[in-house]
Amino acid sequence: MWNILLNELRSYSRNRSFLLISIVFLLFLCLSIYLGKLQTNSQNEYYETAKNELRQQWEKIDDVNPHRAAHYGTYVFKKANLLSSLDEGVNSVTGNVLRVEGHVQNEIVHSEASQMQIASKFGKLKSSLLLQYILPLMLFFLAYNSVTNEKQSGRLKLLALQGATISSLVWAKTLSVWFYSVLLLALTILAYSLLNLFTITTDIAIRSMLLFAAYAMFYFVISGLTVYFTMAWKNSAVALTSMLALWIMWTIFLPSILMTSVEKWHQLPSRNTFEVAMKNDRSKGIDGHNPADERGKTLAQQILTEYGVDSLSQLPINFDGIRMQADEEYGYIVWDKHFGNLRTILEKQKQSYQLAGFINPFVSLQNASMGFASSDNLHHSEFLIQVEEYRRDFIKKLNDKHAFGGSKTGDWGWRADNEFYRSIPDFEYQMTSLVKILPKYFIDLFLLVFWSILVSTLLFLGIKKINLL
């Protein structure tokens, strides 16, 4: 088998047209990674500039009431991920700017896709597009031509007559095509590593290796199936047509059908329903801006009892700040309930969609690719959670200063100094560790292994049915 395999690889290297196509494809891959890196750097530079300007504006705040500063708020930017040059996933459609302010948990806005002139998913040159759609098609035609040409020339029969087993022929063809794909994949990862040589961390290196493993298993599935069907079916054109039909089902129709089904099984509430439910639940809590609110009066009585005084004017603190923070804390319950419900539904959608990998390995590849490239909904959700945690701490510091910083109840003219505002830290996003997200993608890796074993089994068992003589 190894001699046949080496001959196959030599034949690839001697085919000028094939080498030219491979070089052009590799150049496009490197170009897409380079352009992705430029876009990532440009985007992050823009965000850093905007972030620094906003921070400078914040640190220049002086003689402002803390609660007014809470309404003034600030903005948080979602930095582009270093691995997004390999697979940008959902990053182009999820938005990247989020306002942080009191009384409300805002939605992230200003997605890249909303500013694009080309709306098509194929409108940009992306590494994931080339690796997930174009390279597998190249493998289809490479495997098909490799087997068909030798069938038509009679070389396969000649090899069989000379003692070569069907097993060695099938596996040599499969592995030669697969080695070619792995070589292109390795060169892609190498190009990415060289372009990001001084910024790659251990976490990114491990993620890159997991990406490599996921794509390599998928390419083995493609190579094995194409070689088997082309050798097993007498009509090579039917074999090619069938594989292309399967590919179209895997990449276009099934993902759309499955995602639509998943969204029906685990349906998200409409925006209007969500907002109305939030507003209704929010209205049941304390109103921080309404001194006449009955719940606020109950809280005031508790504070009066705690301090042993008869009226708010006798308090050594500012009850307005306490009421504002109570308003916020009730909001936490409401936000956690409704946004938590959204995250739960999205998680169920994701899990159900992952199971579709049993009938479509392309689904598992896409999930694993986005997950290990930190560009999936899970990482986006983790970013939003970190921002909300920061917002709560940010607003609490302002409300506490309003309550305990030296002013008295009703004194809205009291202002905090600049030193206090400069003491409030800026938001710093901590990328979700691989250890935390890896268990979420065991199912995708398992299904890619499952498909690899399934194809290997098909090759072992199906070889007996192939008759070249």
The pLDDT of residue 14: 75
Neighbours of 53 (CB within 10 A): 10
Residue 321 identity (one-letter amino acid): G
Q: Which residues of 187-225 are buried (b: 16+ CB within 10 A; e: fewer)?
A: ebbebbeebbeeebeeebeebbebbbbbbbbbbbbbbbb
- pLDDT higher than threshold 50 for residue 122: no
Measuring CA to CA, which residue among 340, 319, 328 is closest to residue 394? 328
pLDDT band at 143 (very low <50, low <70, confident <90, very high): confident
pLDDT band at 159 (very low <50, low <70, confident <90, very high): low
The pLDDT of residue 215: 96
Percent of the chain with pLDDT over 90: 35
DSSP label at 357? G
- pLDDT higher than threshold 60 for residue 119: no
The pLDDT of residue 110: 66
Provide the residue ranges of all domains of the chain, joining segments of one domain with +. 1-469
The pLDDT of residue 469: 45
Mean pLDDT, the chain, whole residue set: 85
Average pLDDT over every residue of 33-46: 86
Average pLDDT over every residue of 288-300: 77
In whole angstroms, what is the distance from residue 51 CA to residue 299 CA? 38
pLDDT band at 237 (very low <50, low <70, confident <90, very high): confident
- pLDDT higher than threshold 80 for residue 55: yes
Q: For 353, left (φ over 0), alpha (ψ -120 to 50), or beta?
A: alpha
> How far does CA 395 lie from the centroid of its chain?
29
The pLDDT of residue 410: 86
For 371-411, the pLDDT digits (tens) are 999 888 888 899 999 999 999 999 999 999 999 988 898 88
- Picking from 11-20, 74-83, 223-232, which range would have the lowest pLDDT averaged per residue? 11-20
Give every strand in the sheet of 97-101, ordered side by side: 74-77, 97-101, 104-105
The pLDDT of residue 118: 44
